[in-house]
């Protein structure tokens, strides 16, 4: 079940405004070029920021997300991407990406392992999975505990205030609440939990799913905070 901020139409409509700093996406464009990938699946595409950028450079791109409201926002951006809410009939991708927190929303070992196996089946032999995940040793939740509220002007909607609350830290799980207050007085909340897997867990899960880990990098825009995994489906 997607978090409410992705699944609720009113929250999906303001998501890009509050998540506007997407310096992380250039690394994915660079890796796409490095791998020579042309047929790409953005897994958990949300409002489609990466998919739109890749499609603009003549790649064949599919954006998948189970959150219908987020897909509606993505569809309004472009029709050059194939937007889907399920994976039926898909296969043969050169590259599957998971950006942002996508890889950390799978809280149980079963869900994470099933996701990796599904992606393995979607790739062609020699294709790659590329994803990022936060390093637990960085303890980003200590920074989150001091986040302040912010108000932004959302095009077509007006001023919206966002409040963030760290609600629980029980490693490997970290939970938080986003609260959005609209100018008309409507207040909507969304609760989220992320799982912070260590390097050993990630390596073991990827290997068990059949992947060969070809590289593990720092995210260029957040050195020491993130790991970026490049994983190949053997030919």
In the chain, what are the domain boundaries? 4-137+197-232, 138-194
Supply the CATH classification number for the domain 4-137+197-232: 3.40.50.150
H/E stretch holding 70: helix 68-75
pLDDT tens per residue, the chain (235 residues)? 899 999 999 999 999 999 877 888 999 999 999 999 999 999 999 999 999 999 999 999 999 999 999 999 999 999 999 999 999 999 999 999 999 999 999 999 999 999 999 999 999 999 999 999 999 999 999 999 999 999 999 999 999 999 999 999 999 999 999 999 999 999 999 999 999 999 999 999 999 999 999 999 999 888 889 999 999 999 9
Looking at the chain, which runs of residues are DSSP E strands? 39-43, 60-64, 82-84, 93-98, 123-134, 150-154, 158-170, 173-182, 187-195, 212-219, 222-232
Distance CA 212, CA 203 (A): 9
pLDDT at 220: 87
Distances in Å between the Cα of 181 and the Cα atoms of 11, 17, 24, 70 are 10, 14, 27, 19
Distances in Å between the Cα of 226 and the Cα atoms of 4, 8, 223 are 25, 28, 7
């Amino acid at each position: 079940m997607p978090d409410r901020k992705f699944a609720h139409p009113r929250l999906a409509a303001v998501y890009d405004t509050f998540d506007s700093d997407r310096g992380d996406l250039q690394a994915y464009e660079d890796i796409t070029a490095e791998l020579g990938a042309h047929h790409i699946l953005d897994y958990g595409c949300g409002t489609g920021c990466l998919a739109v950028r890749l499609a603009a450079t003549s790649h064949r791109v599919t954006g998948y997300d189970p959150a219908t409201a987020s897909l509606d926002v993505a569809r309004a951006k472009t029709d050059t991407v194939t937007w889907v809410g399920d994976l039926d009939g898909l296969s043969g991708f050169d590259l599957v990406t998971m950006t942002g927190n996508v890889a950390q929303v799978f809280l149980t070992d079963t869900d994470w392992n099933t996701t990796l196996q599904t992606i393995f089946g979607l790739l062609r032999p020699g294709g790659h999975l590329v994803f990022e995940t936060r390093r637990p040793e960085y303890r980003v939740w200590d920074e989150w505990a001091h986040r302040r509220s912010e108000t932004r002007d959302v095009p077509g909607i007006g001023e919206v205030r966002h409040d963030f609350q760290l609600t629980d830290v029980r490693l490997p799980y970290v939970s938080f609440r986003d609260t959005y207050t609209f100018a008309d007085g409507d207040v909507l909340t969304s609760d989220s939990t992320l799982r912070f897997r260590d390097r050993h867990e990630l390596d073991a899960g990827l290997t068990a799913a059949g992947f060969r880990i070809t590289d593990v990098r720092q995210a260029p825009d957040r050195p020491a905070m993130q790991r970026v995994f490049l994983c190949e489906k053997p030919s």
